[in-house]
Structure 1
């Protein structure tokens, strides 16, 4: 062991050695200068615009352009594009054929799909400062809080078919940004164009199908899904007041649903899907009844006839049959178990009766053992003193 004075000297020397070994801390690097940020870019002002039917002086309060023309006739009309925003905007004004969306809303085909019917009969007039892109297409710049009136002419061909030829005029906002994604934000005015003459009105249900969707809950009804197409094979647009009904044999479990449609254009169709709750009565009859109706302010001089289509849907009670099979299996199993238990009990009773009525058996006497065999004596040896006599003849 080291003496006490030496240990004290070493203890005092250790901190000095540590200070000598530890290198000096590196100086923290100076922070890099931060470039001043650019001024924030103000978001583009929102653009709000409208298009309305109008006269040469401006909007006249109409909600659409409605004309009934003879074949070969023409008429002049106007629409006004109003920019309600705080910045100038450029709009693509074009004409297109009318269509109805699956939800029943009227729309105009995109500018990429050129018009082939009523839209092809509409020509946009000249507008000061506008760029003409075609007979039915203009690029119009509208200053902030201003409006531009666009004249148009509807010219019906001499061989046009009598009836409705829907069209529309649309003002679509032109996005001048660098984005490759095009958002078609547009508003428009509908053109109700009818060619005078004798017309037919016919709206029927076609391709009616009924499909059974059973419920796996045996205590709730299943669903009969009925699909069909409302086909307008006439010359004028029509609405439909439809009723879809279903019933089992002898009218059991009858149910129905209304299936109305506001508008189906001539030559067009609309898909309908109706779900009816139904109990599985093996065979269910489905009936689709369609009554055509006049749309809005239209005048139809043709007879409107209601039609009905009937189909059959097979509605087997799968879940109920499965429940019956399960109950039957349980009953058979319970009955088999009861029979087995009864046989066991009866066997025990029979054994007890036999044991009670049979007297106890007497013990049998012990069996006697056979006598031991006596030992046989060996044959006597001949005596040597006896000599056999031989008698001579």
Structure 2
């Protein structure tokens, strides 16, 4: 889970990001995901009225060209020139900070670029943004520019792959963040476009299940199955992005009570992982055996020219019938108690009979009651 202080990361969408700035100190969240980050100010200034709507999209030097993302396969040491277009659809002026960064996939499964804090380690560091007219270069290398109502600016983008870059996918993105506003609480909202960068060379493609943890939870109902909770990590052990279909399967001795659960993972980046949690019904047959099968999948328009092989990990879970044993103990206890009470009652009745006979002077005969 990401944490946010001054600025918070939110998933990038290839849709327009709508930000509503209310005319009060409170914020009314937009329909698309944004994150409000508190920022203290010395004086309270009423926020401007109106709506800010903007987008960042792939472009040529002449403007937006209809592509969904920037996609290139490059050799180590190769350079390519690109463009992105930043458009302010609003009816008022707005100021943006534009920067490039490494691509990640968050816990929600959405592609994201962390806030521009200068910590670019991979492909984000290979991207340089040109400085269009009217833009200001900040000390940390980001661009700041102000766009008038219903206006677009085209920003040159240069991607320079290092000569020692490793083969495979190196995700990145270009982000435009709305800044300013003058309110006591600033809304940190970002939208961007993705860069699919692949470096040529030997490609490996594999996903595996790691850190498997399976736990048995018996049912309180002795006539119902319990639950096995399985938590594991699907790790991309290759160097290209992949989706995955993971199947958890369990069965008792002799294959009795078999069950399975299937999970689809949209995207796992190279050397990254996704956490999966699932549950399966299981009868308390002392032990259940099975495994996790992970099948790699090609994502979107990607081309993966190597064999995609399924990997498997074994699972063993002890499923002792605690509830059923408890029920047996209760039944046995009730049977023992009933027999003891019956014998006690019989002894008490026999004692009263013997006392009455003794009082009447009748000789006492041997009793058939078992002591």
- Secondary structure at the counterpart of residue 345 of structure 2: helix
Structure 2 distance, partners of 1:298, 1:178, is: 44
1:94 equivalent to 2:99? Answer yes
Question: 1:236/1:262 Cα in 2 relative to 1: closer, same or farther (>3 Å)?
Answer: same
Report what 1:192 is aligned to.
196
Cα drift, residue 136 of structure 1: 5.6
- The answer to whether the 8 A contact 1:284-1:313 is kept is yes
Report what 1:220 is aligned to.
224
- Secondary structure at the counterpart of residue 63 of structure 2: coil
1:126 equivalent among 124, 127, 131? 131
**1:74-111 deviation digits (Å, cap 9, x = unpaired):** 11111111111111001111000000011211101210
Structure 2 distance, partners of 1:304, 1:140, is: 45
Q: Which moved more, 1:254-263 or 1:278-287?
A: 278-287
Q: CA RMSD in A?
A: 2.2
Report what 1:163 is aligned to.
168
1:231 equivalent to 2:235? Answer yes
- Secondary structure at the counterpart of residue 299 of structure 1: coil
* Moved >6 Å (runs of 4+): 351-357
Structure 1 distance, partners of 2:125, 2:47, is: 42
Cα drift, residue 286 of structure 1: 3.5
1:248 equivalent to 2:252? Answer yes
- Secondary structure at the counterpart of residue 246 of structure 2: strand
1:302 equivalent to 2:316? Answer no
Cα drift, residue 320 of structure 1: 1.8
Report what 2:146 is aligned to.
141
Structure number having the greater strand percentage: 2
Structure 1 distance, partners of 2:150, 2:116, is: 26
- Secondary structure at the counterpart of residue 333 of structure 1: helix
Structure 2 distance, partners of 1:42, 1:71, is: 48
Structure 2 distance, partners of 1:286, 1:103, is: 28
Structure 2 distance, partners of 1:42, 1:296, is: 42
Structure number having the greater helix percentage: 1
- Structure showing greater radius of gyration is 1
1:74 equivalent among 49, 68, 79? 79
- The answer to whether the 8 A contact 2:76-2:165 is kept is yes
Cα drift, residue 342 of structure 1: 2.4
1:64 equivalent among 69, 84, 98? 69
Structure 1 distance, partners of 2:108, 2:326, is: 40
Cα drift, residue 351 of structure 1: 6.3
Q: How does 1:1-393 map to 2 (within 5 A)?
A: 43-133=48-138, 137-177=142-182, 179=184, 181-348=185-352, 358=362
Indicate the structure whose relative CO is greater, using CA pairs within 8 Å and at least 6 residues apart: 2
Structure 2 distance, partners of 1:152, 1:338, is: 93
Question: 1:43/1:176 Cα in 2 relative to 1: closer, same or farther (>3 Å)?
Answer: closer
- The answer to whether the 8 A contact 2:60-2:82 is kept is yes
**1:37-83 deviation digits (Å, cap 9, x = unpaired):** xxxx6852121111111111111111100001111111111111111
- The answer to whether the 8 A contact 1:124-1:135 is kept is no
- Secondary structure at the counterpart of residue 120 of structure 1: helix
Q: How many residues of Structure 1 are paired with residues of Structure 2 in the alignment?
A: 319
What TM-score does the superposition give when structure 1 sets the normalisation length?
A: 0.76
- The answer to whether the 8 A contact 1:210-1:286 is kept is no
- Secondary structure at the counterpart of residue 187 of structure 1: strand
Structure 2 distance, partners of 1:268, 1:48, is: 33
Q: Provide structure 2 residue ranges, at least 5 long, that are not aligned to the other structure.
A: 1-45, 364-371
- Secondary structure at the counterpart of residue 348 of structure 2: helix
